């Protein structure tokens, strides 16, 4: 994986990894930082049982940015049957809404449990209103309940593939468009997820 000037090399052939690193070093000035621990706001820890990735520090930064570090956590990211629409007063300064939703989009890397709600909130980036901002703050209060939630990729999997999907049929009030989402597991490890309309 490459991001600007950071690269993560992974695989199960240590000799091939060493050869690739030696080749890259012969062409570019590189620095090997050893085993992956932190990359682009994602914390990585490894053990005999598997790999854990989390964005705890990043989550706490979002909570601070939203000004809700002292707020009481909630049990759900959004009230059931909430239908956000173009009703309500426009926000005078939509920049905070856009920044928070953008940060939440990146957080779904390790928090697929908020993906549907973030997808709904991202529909209003062009003209956010007060009810939309209240919904964002509700998602943040939900995250406050478990900022260190993580994804675990077990080293002991049975390699069975399972997939789950769901849809919110014609659930967007203004366009009547549907939203679908899916999760794919390899053994007990979540390997793919997506929400789309």
Q: Each residue of 127-174: pLDDT tens digit?
A: 999 999 999 999 999 999 999 899 999 888 888 999 998 877 766 666
Per-residue pLDDT at 178 exceeds 80: no
- Maximal CA-CA distance, the chain: 61
Q: How far is CA 141 from CA 58, 109, 111, 124, in A?
A: 15, 19, 14, 20
Asked if residue 9 lies in contact with residue 116, where contact means CB atoms within 8 angstroms, the answer is no
- pTM equals 0.81
Which pLDDT belongs to residue 176? 66
Residue corresponding to tokens 């964002």: 136
**3-class DSSP assignment, residue 43:** strand
User: Residue 82: pLDDT above 80?
Assistant: no
30 closest CA partner among 5, 13, 3: 5
């Amino acid at each position: 994986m490459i991001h600007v000037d950071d690269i993560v090399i992974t695989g199960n052939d240590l000799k091939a990894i060493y050869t690739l690193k030696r080749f890259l070093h012969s062409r570019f000035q590189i620095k090997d930082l050893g085993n992956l621990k932190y990359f682009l706001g994602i914390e990585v820890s490894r053990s005999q049982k598997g790999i854990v990735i989390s964005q705890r520090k990043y989550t706490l930064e979002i909570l601070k940015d939203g000004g809700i570090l002292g707020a009481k956590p909630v049990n759900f990211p959004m009230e059931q049957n909430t239908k956000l629409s173009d009703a309500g007063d426009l926000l005078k300064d939509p920049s905070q809404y856009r920044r928070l939703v953008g940060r939440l989009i990146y957080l779904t890397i390790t928090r697929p449990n908020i993906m549907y709600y973030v997808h709904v909130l991202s529909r209003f980036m062009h003209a956010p209103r007060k009810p939309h901002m209240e919904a964002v703050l509700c998602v943040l209060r939900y995250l406050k309940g478990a900022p260190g939630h993580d994804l675990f990729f077990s080293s002991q999997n049975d390699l069975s593939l399972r997939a789950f999907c769901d849809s919110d049929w014609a659930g967007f009030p203004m366009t009547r468009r549907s939203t679908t989402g899916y999760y794919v597991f390899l053994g007990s490890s979540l390997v793919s997820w997506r929400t789309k309309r």
